[in-house]
Structure 1
Amino acid sequence: MINSLQIAKTGMQAQQTQLDVISHNLANVSTSGFKRGTALFEDLIYQNLRQVGGNSAEQSELPTGLQLGLGVRTVATARTYTQGNLQQTGNNLDVAINGDGFFQIEMPDGTTAYSRDGSFKLTAQGELVTNSGYRVLGGVTIPADTRSVTIGTDGLVSVIVGNNPTPQPAGTIELASFVNPAGLEPRGQNLFTETPASGNPTTGTPGSEGRGPVLQGYLESSNVNVVQELVSMIQTQRAYEMNSKAIQTSDQMLQRLAQL
């Protein structure tokens, strides 16, 4: 009877974790380039009270065993890197990746982070940066008297400066790709960093070697499906209530046992 209390407790904890993940997904439904997370669970170790296949007599074997599970635990929160919808913004500095790949972002400590959020801005020096002020790798610098900026699908940035009608190169936006993007570590601010699980990044031109082309004037929206998340929330609530009911039932049975 005591086991059922502990088992139901692990179930409630697992569903609370599930709800935390769902809430985070819904909170970022409008975050550019956000990738939804999913909680993954596994059952805990079993108490093997009767070994399946054991001898019940000299010439006979047990066709079934007696194993009692001890509950559930959360083992991972995996991210789904499916493509989000591309929304046209009309902003020349907004860039979306139509396919695989990540923008490369230089962090203050000199390391490189990776992002799917292409809502870029300019510094006073004309450098291309993220909303947090981190510089986009590629050496893109826009002159002060630039009249128009063009970003090709291959990441080449060209500008028209002053009265000169001839486009001039202003840098190149390169993308990074990973063998296992699910192994990237989320760091907040729409940034990820590589880990041993993700593997080393492979950098190159957008639209080549499996990397998607970049589209100027577009942003990739979050890939969170609100209806799917709401359905998952209802399922999580029901599962939490059932585990709570199991605890109440176990408590009532223990009270009845104490009265004997």
Structure 2
Amino acid sequence: MNNSAISAMVSLNSLQSRLDVIADNIANMDTVGYKRKESSFEDVLTTIQQQHKDFKSADRATPLGYNVGYGIKPASVAANWEQGPLMETGIPTDLAIQGNGLIAVENNGNIAYTREGAFHFVPDPADVSSMLLVNNEGDKVLSRGDNPAPIKVPTDAKVAIDDKGNIWTVLNGTTDRVLSGKIFVVEPERPEGLDQIDGNKFVLANGVTANDVFRISAGAALENAPENVSLLSGYLEKSNVDLTVEMSEMVQVQRAYQLMSRALTSSDTMMNLANNMRG
């Protein structure tokens, strides 16, 4: 197989991956807290093909040899952490994250992190006098501290959440405000150490610890919320996907895909002609 066919075939596979990323972004335009994915590419292999010595000339401005590439491949897919627009809901348990932060939730017995702040209270099946703060998938929101645990509040309490994730409750018939929990908020310093999973959540990548990713590691140091992150009660952060940008990039990728398809077709035609030549 000649170089043009190899380059076109490899590039077609990479462009298909880019189209998949764009399609995923468009599909999640209305997903609360979704972060746009961006993919980067790199050369598969580049070699220098030497020209015949007859091309050598004293008047030649460039050296003999020319680059031969073998297409491109996806290097990485990363989330764009740019702040999304805010949408007012008026619901006290809806939380929009301002800044580069994530909220920790319990996911299948493990800790996951999300920016989707559409939370609500549900009855605690183990304690009828308490309610649990959960997201739309039923994942329990965790509290800060040495041993993160699900956040609980009394069933008959009025709840308010401040900008640092402190949960204040007032029991019916009283006026005293009580601190009932602190939402586990973290600030990723190296977000590349997080893998995105279903449900618009992130988990630590294999072999990566919380100390490697977060500005403040898990444990007692998380008693205080990150200084650069705040929560806005009664709002939700919308997706940061811009449909105009995605459609523009889709057109560019489709044109590149058509070009590579033509290159593959031309290469196939040339090989057929060479196979049918008679000496």
Instruction: Please state which band the TM-score falls in when normalised by the shorter chain.
Output: 0.7 to 0.9
The alignment partner of 2:105 has SS state of strand
Aligned residues: 250
Counterpart code for 1:218: Y
Matched residue, 1:184: 194
Matched residue, 2:243: 226
Matched residue, 2:231: 214
Counterpart code for 2:136: N
**Shift of residue 48 of structure 1?**
3.0
Equivalent-residue separation in structure 1 for 2:90 and 2:252 (angstroms): 40
Matched residue, 2:155: 144
- Higher alpha-carbon deviation: 230-239 or 245-254: 245-254
Q: Gaps spanning 5+ residues in structure 1: where?
A: none
Matched residue, 1:205: 224
Checking the alignment, whether the CA contact within 8 Å between 2:39 and 2:74 is kept in structure 1 is yes
Matched residue, 1:115: 114
Q: Deviations along 1:139-195, whole A, 9 cap, x unmatched?
A: 53222112x321111211112221212222221113112221133111111211123
Checking the alignment, whether the CA contact within 8 Å between 1:33 and 1:220 is kept in structure 2 is yes
Q: Gaps spanning 5+ residues in structure 2: where?
A: 125-130, 144-149, 217-221
Checking the alignment, whether the CA contact within 8 Å between 1:207 and 1:214 is kept in structure 2 is no
Equivalent-residue separation in structure 2 for 1:89 and 1:182 (angstroms): 31
Equivalent-residue separation in structure 2 for 1:101 and 1:20 (angstroms): 27
Using structure 1 for the length normalisation, give the TM-score. Answer: 0.88
Counterpart code for 1:69: G
Q: CA RMSD in A?
A: 2.4
Q: Deviations along 1:101-137, whole A, 9 cap, x unmatched?
A: 110112332x311111111121212111122212111
**Shift of residue 18 of structure 1?**
0.6
Using structure 2 for the length normalisation, give the TM-score. Answer: 0.82
The alignment partner of 1:227 has SS state of helix
Equivalent-residue separation in structure 1 for 2:64 and 2:36 (angstroms): 41
The alignment partner of 2:152 has SS state of coil
1:1-260 matched pairs, under 5 angstroms: 2-50=2-50, 63-109=63-109, 111-125=110-124, 126-138=131-143, 140-146=151-157, 148-195=158-205, 196=208, 199-201=212-214, 202=216, 203=222, 205-206=224-225, 208=227, 210=228, 212-260=229-277
